[in-house]
């Protein structure tokens, strides 16, 4: 079975959307900050041997938006799954998490949303635990594009969920 799925990454400027994609697709990381303008589209295949499935992920890297209401709705059409990224070191990027998620749920109904807190390498486990008490019910994974920790897991979990 071979299927193609559209994945869209969303979140504020500088939270690490492009870095997570680069880590997943090319297994590289850079400290240089290059702003994404418009949209970049990447492709990577994920094989799930137990299911005999070959999932082609078409990953959309949207330019950052500190107000989700400014997201171009045409980019969201046909999305099979969202990855909402925030930066664990910058509260401004997760303060409105619930509102932003509600926005996506309203615009693109029945589309799964994976919420990831990125840059976990910059904080302690204790800090994450405390953060988790406030936002944990919404956060699926804490990851790091820099170390690569759990980045593959975001996409492999998604791929598996999407072929069910």
Binding site for Mg ion (CB under 5 A): 17-18, 36
Token pair for residue 163?
């072929």
- Nearest residue (CB) to ligand GDP, 36 versus 156: 36
Determine contact, residues 10/104, Cβ cutoff 8 Å.
Answer: yes
Determine contact, residues 82/10, Cβ cutoff 8 Å.
Answer: yes
Count of residues in the chain = 164
How many other CB atoms sit within 10 Å of the CB of residue 37? 7
- Nearest residue (CB) to ligand GDP, 34 versus 164: 34
State the nearest-atom distance from the C-beta of 35 to Mg ion, in Å: 6
Q: Return the range that interacts with ligand GDP (CB under 6 A); candidates 14-22, 41-49, 70-78, 132-140.
A: 14-22
Determine contact, residues 62/8, Cβ cutoff 8 Å.
Answer: yes
User: Which value, in Å, is the radius of gyration of the alpha carbons in the chain?
Assistant: 15
Whole-number Å distance between alpha carbons of 55 and 32: 31
User: CB nearest ligand GDP: which residue?
Assistant: 16
Site for ligand GDP in 143-162 (CB under 6 A): 144-146
Which string of x and - marks every residue 107-126 that binds ligand GDP (by CB under 6 A)?
-----------xx-xx----
65 near ligand GDP (CB under 6 A): no
Residues that bind ligand GDP (CB under 6 A): 11, 13-19, 30-31, 33, 36, 64, 118-119, 121-122, 144-146
């Amino acid at each position: 079975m071979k299927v193609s799925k559209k994945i869209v990454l969303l979140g504020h400027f500088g939270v690490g959307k492009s870095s997570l994609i680069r880590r997943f697709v090319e297994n590289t990381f850079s400290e240089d900050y290059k702003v994404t303008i418009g949209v970049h589209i990447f492709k990577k295949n994920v094989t799930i041997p137990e299911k005999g499935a070959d999932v082609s992920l078409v990953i959309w890297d949207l330019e950052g938006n500190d107000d989700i209401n400014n997201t171009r709705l045409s980019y969201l059409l046909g999305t099979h799954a969202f990855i909402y990224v925030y930066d664990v070191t910058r509260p401004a990027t997760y303060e409105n998490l619930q509102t932003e998620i509600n926005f996506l749920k309203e615009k693109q109904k029945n589309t799964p949303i994976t919420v990831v807190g990125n840059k976990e390498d910059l904080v302690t486990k204790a800090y994450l635990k405390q953060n988790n008490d406030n936002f944990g019910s919404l956060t699926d994974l804490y990851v790091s594009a820099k170390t690569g920790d759990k980045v593959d897991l975001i996409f492999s979990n998604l791929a598996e969920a999407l072929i069910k």
